[in-house]
Amino acid sequence: MALLHVKDLSKQYDKGKQVLSNINMEIFEGEFVSIIGPSGAGKSTFLRCINRMIDISDGELHFDGTDVMSLNKSNLRKHRTKIGMIFQHYNLVSRLTVIENVLHGRFGYKSTLQGVLGIFTEEEKVEAFRLLEKLGMGEHAYKRCDQLSGGQKQRVGIARALIQSPKLILCDEPIASLDPNSSKVIMDHLKSISKEMNITCIVNLHQVDVAKKYSDRVIGLNGGQVVFDGTSKELTSESIHEIYGSEAGDLIME
Ligand code: ADP
C-alpha cells in the first residue's frame, strides 16, 4: 500500500485561481521523490496540503492509511508527528542551543505544559545527541544556533525532523540558501536517511541536476498540474522543456 495516496487533489486559495488541479499520485515507503517546476507552479502549496497546514479544496489525501481531511484536532496532531518538515530558512530558534532546537521536534508528543516547561526525558536527550553525532554536529550541541553556518543549521533542522520518528520528511527548498558544498552534504544526508532508515522524502527543488542525481523519482509541476512523473533516467531534456516551458533553456545541462 502507498504511504501517500493523492486522488484528484485541487487547491484554490480564497476562491481565487486554481493553484493545484487534479493531482493524482501514490508515493511509497522509502521513496526519494523530488518535485520540480517553475516558481509559482504549486510545489510549496502541495507540501503544505500533505501535512494539512492548509486544507485542500477538492479530492482526497490519504497518508499511512488515514484520510487526512477527516482528522479532528487531536488526530491531526498525531498525523503531524509522523511528518518531519525541513525548510529553506531552517526555522530554528536562533537564541536557543542546537540540542534545544533538536528537542523541539518532540513537541508534538508532549502536553502543552511539558512543552512550555521544556520537559524532555533522558531517552529523548540521548537520542538528540545520537542524531547530532550522526549528522556530524555532535561537537556543536551546546552552541547557540545563530553561531552556525547555513549548512550546519540545516543539519540541525534534519535532526529536529528525525527525532519525531517520522515516516515522511517534507523538504521545501532545503538547499536554496546553501553553497554547493553544503548542498551536497545536506542532499547526501537526506538520501541516506531515506535509504538506511526507510523514511520517505519528498523534496521541492529548484535545481534540476540535483533532482536528477538524487531522486528515485521526479515529479514535474507546471501551472498546478503534474506534467511529468517518472524516474531520473526518464527525465530527458524534452521533459524538462515540458515542465519549465520557456525557462527550460538555462536548466538543461548536456
Ligand atoms: P512554488 O512553490 O512552486 O513556487 P507556490 O505553491 O508557492 O508555488 O505558489 C503557487 C501559487 O499559489 C502562486 O500563484 C502563489 O502566488 C499562490 N499562493 C501561494 N500561497 C498563497 C496564499 N497563502 N494565498 C494566496 N495565494 C497563494
Percent of the chain beyond pLDDT 90?
Answer: 88
Looking at residues 194-212, what average pLDDT do you find?
96
Q: What is the pLDDT of residues 119-163, one digit of tens each?
A: 899 999 999 999 999 999 999 999 999 999 999 999 999 999 999
In three-state form (DSSP H/G/I as H, E/B as E, the rest C), the secondary structure along 65-112 is CEEHHHCCHHHHHHHHHCEEEEECCCCCCCCCEHHHHHHHHHHHHCCH
End-to-end Cα, the chain, rounded Å: 37
Name which residue sits closest to atom 23 of ligand 1, judged by CA: 13
pLDDT in tens, 171-191: 999 999 999 999 999 999 999
From the CA of 208, how far away is ligand 1's center (Å)?
20
Q: How many CB atoms lie within 10 A of CB 96?
A: 16
Q: What is the pLDDT of residues 2-61, one digit of tens each?
A: 999 999 999 999 878 899 999 999 999 999 999 999 999 999 999 999 999 999 999 999
Ligand 1 nearest atom to the CA of residue 48, by list position: 6
pLDDT, mean over the chain: 94
Residue 67, pLDDT above cutoff 60: yes
Answer whether 169's CB lies under 8 Å from 137's CB.
no
- Is residue 70 within 8 Å of residue 86, measured between CB atoms? no
With a Cβ cut-off of 6 Å, ligand 1 is lined by: 13, 19, 37, 39-45
Q: Rounded CA gap, 158 and 161, in Å?
A: 5
CA distance 140 to 147: 10
